[in-house]
Every structure is written in structure tokens, then in C-alpha cells.
Structure 1
Amino acid sequence: MTYLPTIIIVGGPAGTGKTTAASNLAKHYNCPYIEGDTLHPQANIDKMSKGIPLNDDDRWDWLIKLTQVTVQECQASQNNMAIVTCSILKKAYRQLIETTGKPIDFKFVFLFASFDELVNRVENRKNHYMKSDMVKSQYEIMEVPQGDELVVNGGNCLTIDTTQKSMDVIYKEIVDNLNLS
């Protein structure tokens, strides 16, 4: 197990498998899991429920709260780890989380898929406020980590294309490439 306080943020647009992957990681690492969507203020939920995409101003306070709650959970856990789901669609969002959460070690797992697959997955969800028409807005602003953000280049982001992959394959890819014991 890692010795530095570590938070793994599983992100990407709606329909990529964030919740399932994060749940599996929390079991694997025996640590708390926080569903980031539960921390949205009611105004954000109402907006998304009406099919209105969130903008940056809607997200900043949510991202700060999400980071603060997750840092507390991480520090309170027995092994100084926590897992959280959050779309982290833009590089600026990932940077805000890191700055707000210092000195925690953040690992970002960015899941993405083809637009058509995401729409299909979201259309088949039940009891979720994020509807398929909202996928387009997330897909359009999505900044898949690249360059020096990537783990393979010394950064802290791992990207996984989930298109036509089972959750077992996705999970194995994450665990094998995060380089955590």
C-alpha cells in the first residue's frame, strides 16, 4: 500500500464507467469512495436535470468542496487513501483540485469513449439526472490529459479509452498502470 496520502480521482464524461471503476478501486485498495455527484449543490442538479449544461462558474465551488471532503476522508482512512469520482473534464479542473488539496498526492484516471457509445450508455441508465443530451456538452469541453500530464511522461494522469471494453478490462488497465502497490 502507498505511504503518501493519495487520492485517486476517476473522471471523464458521463457514461465512461467512472462509478463502477471507482467502486472496484475502493474495494481493491480498501479505502473510502466518494461519489462526486452527491456533492453538487442543488442548483447544479436542478440545472442538469433540465438539460442545461454546467459552466465553469457552476463547477468551481463544487470542485473545491469535492476536494476538501475527499482530503478529509483520505486523512481519516486507515491507509491514507480515498477514491472519488468527478468528471475532471478540463485541465484547469485537475489543476484546481491539486492546488486545493495540497499536499495530498493526486492520481487522475481519465476515462473516455466514443461519443456514440457514451450516448448509448447514458440512454440506458435509470434514475440518474444526467441525460443523454448532456453528453454532447461534456464531450465538447473534454480535455483528455496528454503530454506531461500523463503517468508515462512523469505526470499523474492515466487515460483509458473505454470504448467497447468490459469493466473487468478497464479495471485491470487502471490497476496495472497506476503503479500503486
Structure 2
Amino acid sequence: MQQLRTPHVVVVMGVAGTGKTTIGPLLAARLGVPYAEGDDFHPQANIDKMSAGVPLDDADRWPWLDAIGAWAHGRAGLGGVVSSSALKRSYRDRLRAAAPGVVFVHLTGDRALIEDRMSHRQGHFMPTALLDSQFATLQPLQPDEAGVAVDVTGSPEEITARAVQALDALSRPAK
């Protein structure tokens, strides 16, 4: 994995239901930087499509990723945390093109756990029915990508602590 540069912009990524919206603000608070909710960058057409149970395609995602990338670029050198599913390498590459120093925290977990958590969410536009398409699209972080994978079992505070620890380890020089 690449070495972490600080202050940095962290993209909390993963399939729907992994806790990006919960962990993102907690992580931002622990790092002392602002948080931006990735879902807020979606155009209404994307929200309508997902609400209808239709997965987004790449053409739907590009403007959304560009908006997130612009936010991350604006936070370069200042730090920040933003959520984004960033499921494909090409999506992460697009975010890195906009904001070269971004680091990813990939929230990972068992499909059954994630589906259970999604089924208990209130008022979110992403239906559980789209979880299969999320897992089918997911391309985990590769060794040449700056980032860490963090398991989502446990409480939000435990998950956040693991993320901070993993980011700290990433920021230490290799021996």
C-alpha cells in the first residue's frame, strides 16, 4: 500500500449498508476534519433511479464522482472525509484524478450482516434489492491504491477506532 500523506482527504467506501454514513462523520470527528455525505452529491435523477430499484450505470455515476472529486480537490492540504461507494477501480481512479492525495477506507463485511443492517434503515433511498448489484460491481482496493480495508463488525465506535488505527499504520514510514 502507498504511504499516507497528511493532512489527507479520506473517502469512506463500500457497498450500500456498510455504514459509510455512520462511520464517515465519526472518522471525521476523530481526525478533526469536515465530513461530506456522498449521497448529497447525487443528482435527483440518480436518487429517483435507485429509489425505483434500478442500479446506476457508469454514465449515471460520472457526474456524481466528479462532484465528490471536486469537493475532495478543494480539501487538498486541509483534510476531510467524504463517503462514496467507489465500488470500481475506475471510479477510484476518477476520484484520484480529481484529488490525487485521496486515501480510501474500504468498509467490508459479510453480506448477511450488511443486508440485515440495510433492512433496519429508515428513510434511505437505496433498497436492499440493489445489494446484489453492489456486490457484483465491487472491485476491492488493490495493493497499489492508497487505502485500507476495515471490517464492519462491532459498534460504530469500534469500527471507527479500527479505521483510525489502520490509517495511522498507513501513515507510518515503511521499515
Distance 1:27 1:16 in 2: 19
CA RMSD across the alignment? 1.8
Q: Find 1:80's aligned residue among 75, 78, 81.
A: 78
Q: Find 2:110's aligned residue among 110, 114, 118.
A: 114
Unaligned runs of 5+ in 2: none
Which letter maps to 1:139? F
Q: What is the aligned partner in structure 2 of residue 50 from structure 1?
A: 52
Larger RCO (alpha carbons 8 Å, 6+ apart): 2
Identity %: 35
Runs of 4+ in 1 over 4 A off after TM superposition: 2-5
What is the Cα deviation at residue 44 of structure 1?
0.3
- Does structure 1 retain, via aligned residues, the 8 Å contact 2:24–2:83? yes
- Does structure 1 retain, via aligned residues, the 8 Å contact 2:14–2:86? yes
What is the Cα deviation at residue 56 of structure 1?
1.0
Deviation track 1:84-138 (CA, whole Å, cap 9, x = no partner) reads 0000101111111001224xx2110001211111111111000110111111110
Alignment of 1:166-181 (within 5 A): 166-179=155-168, 180=171
Q: Secondary structure at the match of 1:147?
A: coil
Deviation track 1:22-78 (CA, whole Å, cap 9, x = no partner) reads 111111122111001011001100000000000111101110111102322x15xxx
Q: What is the aligned partner in structure 2 of residue 159 from structure 1?
A: 149
Distance 1:144 1:24 in 2: 23
Which letter maps to 1:157? G
Give me the TM-score of the superposition, normalised by structure 2.
Answer: 0.88
- Does structure 1 retain, via aligned residues, the 8 Å contact 2:50–2:56? yes
Q: What is the aligned partner in structure 1 of residue 62 from structure 2?
A: 60
What is the Cα deviation at residue 3 of structure 1?
7.5
Which letter maps to 1:21? I
Q: Secondary structure at the match of 1:94?
A: helix
- Does structure 2 retain, via aligned residues, the 8 Å contact 1:3–1:80? no
Distance 1:110 1:39 in 2: 19
Which letter maps to 2:63? D
Q: Find 2:10's aligned residue among 8, 11, 15.
A: 8
Q: Find 1:34's aligned residue among 29, 33, 36.
A: 36
Which letter maps to 1:160? V
Q: Find 2:128's aligned residue among 127, 132, 142.
A: 132
Q: What is the aligned partner in structure 2 of residue 152 from structure 1?
A: none
Give me the TM-score of the superposition, normalised by structure 1.
Answer: 0.85
Q: 1:15 to 1:165 in 2, by over 3 A?
A: same
Q: What is the aligned partner in structure 2 of residue 96 from structure 1?
A: 94
Which letter maps to 2:149? T
Unaligned runs of 5+ in 1: 150-155
